[in-house]
Amino acid sequence: MWIVLIIIIALITTISVVVLKTKKTNSEETSTTGETTEKMETTTEQLPPPCIVNSNTTWKQDASTVAGGHGKGNEANQLDEPVSVYVDDDNENLYISDYNNHRIVRWGFNDTIGEVVAGGNGIGNRIDQLRNPSDAILNKKDSSLIICDFKNDRVVKWFRQGYITLQQIRIPQIRCWSLAMDNNGDLYVSDMIKDEVSRWKEGQTSGIKVAGKSRNTGPTNWVYNFAYIFIDEYYSVYVADSVNGEAMEWKKDAKNGTIVARGRINETKPNSPPRLSGVVIDCVGNIYVSNAMTCQITRWLPGAIFNGTIAGGQGCGKGTRQLFVPQDLSFDRQGNLYVVDTMNHRVQKFAVEHD
C-alpha cells in the first residue's frame, strides 16, 4: 500500500515538472516567435513584392496618360519622343528619358507636370549636359541616377551632394542604349555598337560580356540590334532584339541565348519586319514585349509560347486603346503596366484588372 502511494506521488511530481517545463518551453517559443515576427515586420519593405502578375492577369484596355500627352514639346507638361521609363514605387515617381529634349524627367504618380532631374541644359557633351538619353535607372543605395547618355557614348551618374547636383562619367566610350541592375548592385549595359550586354561591378574599369552575338559586320555596316534589357532574380539577361524581331534570354554564365519571344507581323504592313523594343518579365517567368511596328504589347509563356495581346493591337494611333511606336515597359508593385508611347509623346498606364 505504501509502495503504491509513493509511486503515485512520484508520478504526480514528474508530471508537474513536465508541465512546468513544457509551459516554459512554450513561453520561450512564443517569445522567439514574437522576436521573429518583429524582425519580419521590420524587413518586409526589403522583401520582393508578392506575385501579382501571372499568365492569367489582364489589364484595362483603355489606358490613362500619366506623363506627357500634351503634344510634342519641351514644357513641363510635355515630352518629345520619350523612350524609357523607370518606376520608383517607394517614392511613387516615374523617371522618363525624354530623348529629344536631352533630359531625364521625374514625374510623380499623380502629377500633371514633370521635374527635370538630369540634363535640360541644352544638347552637348559637357558633364552637365545630355545628348539623346535613352535610359535611366535609380540606384537606391545612394539615390543616384545612372543614365545612358546615348549620343555622347557614355554612361553617366547624377547625384545630389547637399544642395548641389554632381555628375561623373561612370563608363566612357560606350554606345549604351539600356541599363539594368541586379540584386547585388551590379550594373548591366547594352552596347548597340558591339551588340552585346556587359556586367559592371562598382569600381571596375571594364565589364564582363554576359550576352551578345557575333556578326560579320564592318565599321561602315553596323547592325544596331539590342534594345531594352531586363535582369531577373536568377541573373538571367533578357534582351529585346529590335532588328531580328525576337527576345532572347541568356541564363547566368550561359554561352548562348535562347529565343523566348518573337515579334508579330503587322497585317497592314506584311513586308515590314517586327521590331521588338521593350521587354519585362513577371514573377513566374512570362515574357512581355513591345512591338514598335504593330503597336502592341504581347505576352509569351516560357518555351516561347504566344499567349496573346495584352495592350494595344488596335492599330497604331493616339486613342486610349492605341499606341504609336511603343518602347520601354515596366510594372509597378500593384501590377499596373507602364508603356512608353514614343511617337505620341506620352507614357501610358494600363491598370491591372482585379477579380
* Cβ–Cβ under 8 Å, residues 229 and 188: yes
Q: Which of 135, 132, 198, 156 is nearest to 330 (CA)?
A: 135
> What is the rounded distance in angstroms from the CA atom of residue 80 to the CA atom of residue 87?
19
Cβ-proximal residues to 125 (8 Å cutoff; 6+ apart), any chain: 131, 152
**Model-level pTM?**
0.82
> 328 and 246 in one domain?
yes
> 304 and 251 in one domain?
yes
The total number of structural domains that make up the chain: 2
> 104 and 11 in one domain?
no
pLDDT by 10-residue block (mean), the chain, 355 residues:
41 39 33 34 38 91 97 98 97 97 97 96 96 96 95 95 88 96 95 92 91 53 69 94 88 92 69 81 95 94 95 95 97 96 98 87
Q: What is the pLDDT of residue 3?
A: 42
DSSP annotation of 294 reads T
Q: Which of 334, 333, 325 is nearest to 348 (CA)?
A: 325
> 105 and 28 in one domain?
no
Backbone angles phi, psi at 39, to 5 degrees: -65, -40
> 85 and 34 in one domain?
no
> 293 and 250 in one domain?
yes
> 315 and 241 in one domain?
yes
> 203 and 294 in one domain?
yes
Answer yes or no: is 32 within a domain. Answer: yes
> 289 and 228 in one domain?
yes
Q: What is the pLDDT of residue 241?
A: 84
Q: What is the pLDDT of residue 179?
A: 97
CATH value at residue 212: 2.120.10.30
Q: Which of 160, 136, 154 is nearest to 146 (CA)?
A: 136
Q: Which of 321, 284, 314 is nearest to 299 (CA)?
A: 284
Answer yes or no: is 67 within a domain. Answer: yes
> 104 and 12 in one domain?
no
Q: What is the pLDDT of residue 284?
A: 92
The overall longest dimension of the chain from CA atoms, in Å, is 110
What would the grid cell of residue 204 be? Answer: 571596375
> What is the rounded distance in angstroms from the CA atom of residue 134 to the CA atom of residue 153?
11
Domain hosting 34: range is: 1-41
> 96 and 9 in one domain?
no
Answer yes or no: is 50 within a domain. Answer: no
Answer yes or no: is 156 within a domain. Answer: no
Q: What is the pLDDT of residue 263?
A: 82
Cβ-proximal residues to 231 (8 Å cutoff; 6+ apart), any chain: 180, 181, 182, 188, 237, 238
Q: What is the pLDDT of residue 13?
A: 42
Answer yes or no: is 254 within a domain. Answer: yes
Answer yes or no: is 335 within a domain. Answer: yes
Q: What is the pLDDT of residue 165?
A: 87
> What is the rounded distance in angstroms from the CA atom of residue 50 to the CA atom of residue 253?
28
Q: What is the pLDDT of residue 273?
A: 63
Cβ-proximal residues to 258 (8 Å cutoff; 6+ apart), any chain: 248, 249, 250, 251
> 346 and 260 in one domain?
yes
Answer yes or no: is 197 within a domain. Answer: yes
Answer yes or no: is 239 within a domain. Answer: yes
> What is the rounded distance in angstroms from the CA atom of residue 278 to the CA atom of residue 239?
8
